[in-house]
Amino acid sequence: MKKEKKYIWYSDALTDNEILQYALIINQFKNNEIDFQTLKELFWNKRIKIIPSLVYPSTKKKLTISQLEELKKRFLERKYLYSDINYFILNSNKFKFKNVIFHMDYKVIELLANYGLPEYQEAMISILMNKLKHSFDKDKDFEIIAQRAKWKRRIAELKLALSKEEVTNKSR
């Protein structure tokens, strides 16, 4: 009888601190600061096996024959790029459910923005601006009015943090 694999979403299995730690490592891979092999080693040092869920070549935009060959070669050699991966599966005995699906989504963006990474602060501003654009204050819906006010304050905080970062970078 085959044992059924159980998967759980990262936000249901990990603490915010763990999510941030793992996201910072994956962000290095995303920014080409480390390669996939180094990514695997960094997670292995934390006693976690990281397994990529790959984007199939047929789902990528039209590729030339040479691009497709290069992609196949990279896949065979397991020299993945961040763009080759849909999400990661984190496998460890540390987790109640051994297979945790980790994806760089809203929660991760929010944690990385709060950590102070400018690219994620900008992404968070964009997300919140979009939320504001697609929500409306209703006469007596105090919940949405409060939520919109919260988003506006958060946008202002992020913009202030980004402007301070720019000033710091210019003075260096």
Q: Mean pLDDT in the chain? A: 87
pLDDT at 139 over 70: no
- pLDDT of 40 reads 95
- Indicate the pTM of the whole model: 0.81
pLDDT of residue 98: 78
As a whole number, mean pLDDT of residues 60-74 equals 77
At 1, is the pLDDT very low, low, confident or very high (cuts 50, 70, 90)? Answer: very low
Whole-angstrom distance, CA of residue 77 vs CA of residue 30: 19
**CA separation (Å) from 155 to 20, 54, 128?**
21, 34, 7
How many residues does the structure list for the chain?
172
Largest CA distance in the chain: 65
How much is the pLDDT for 63? 72
Give residues with Cβ within 8 angstroms of 88, minimum separation 6: 26, 50, 51, 52, 53, 101, 102, 103
Higher pLDDT, residue 64 or 58: 64
Average pLDDT over residues 102-131: 94
Measure the CA angle with vertex 166, ends 147 and 32; round to 5°. Answer: 90
